[in-house]
Amino acid sequence: MARTQAADYDERRTTVLDKAAELYAHAGFHGCSIADLAAACGMSKSLLYHYFASKEDILFEIMDGHIGALAEVADACRSEPDPKARFGKLTHGFLELYADASARHRVLVNDLDKLPEGRRRHIVDTERTLVDLVARTIGEIAPALSKDDARVRAMLYFGMINWSHTWFHPKGSFTVEALADTVIDQMLGGLR
C-alpha cells in the first residue's frame, strides 16, 4: 500500500530547506551534519530522510530554488524595451531577493563547489543566462562597448551585488531600494 503524504508535507519540506540554508550559511555544508539539521528542524533523522534523500539533495534544492527565483526576476524584466529601465528593474529585483533570502544566497555563493558536476552545471548554466542578460543590457546602454567589455562590466556588476550579503543589513538605515539605486548610479555612471 502506498504511503500517503501529510497535509503539511510541502510546508515541512520548505522548513527543512530554510533551516538548512541557515545552518549551511553559518557553518558551511561540511560543517553541518544531518543530525544537526534534524535537531534544528525538531524532527528525527529518519523523518528528515522522508523529505530528502541526502544532505546533498537539500543543498541542491536550496541553490536551485534560489537561482530559479533570480531567473524569475530576470524573466520578468527581459521584455522591458528600455535597457536602462531593464537594468534598474533587474538590480532592484536581484537585491530585494538577496535581502529576503540572505542565507540561501550565501549558500549559493559559498558552497556551489560542494555539488557534483551535473548538478553544479545546472546551477552554473542558469547563472550564465543571468550574466548574459546583464551583459546584453549593458551593451544596449553603451553600444560602443565590445561584447567582451560588456561582459566584463556584467561580471563587475555581479561581483558588486553578489557579496552585499556580507555587509548589508536591510533593516539598517540604508534600505534595499537605496542600495539598488546606488548600484545603478555607479554602474550607469561608469558607462557614460
* Average pLDDT along the chain: 93
Angle between helices 55-78 and 102-111 (to 10 degrees): 110
pLDDT tens for 101-136 read 889 999 999 999 999 999 999 999 999 999 999 999
Do residues 80 and 86 lie in contact, with contact meaning Cβ atoms separated by under 8 Å? yes
Domain residue limits at 73: 54-189
User: How confident is the model at residue 19, as a pLDDT?
Assistant: 96
Split at pLDDT 50, 70, 90, the class of 5 is low
pTM of the model: 0.90
DSSP-based three-state secondary structure for 54: coil
The dihedral region occupied by 42, where left means phi > 0, alpha psi between -120 and 50, and beta the remainder, is left
Q: Residues 76, 135: contact at Cβ < 8 Å?
A: no
| pLDDT tens figures, 144-179 | 999 999 999 999 999 999 999 888 888 888 899 999
Whole-Å CA distances, 15 to 10, 27, 41, 96, 110: 9, 18, 7, 21, 21
CATH number of the domain where residue 108 is located = 1.10.357.10
pLDDT of 7 > 50? The answer is yes
pLDDT at 74: 98
Between CA 192 and CA 188 the distance in angstroms is 7
3-state secondary structure of 163: coil
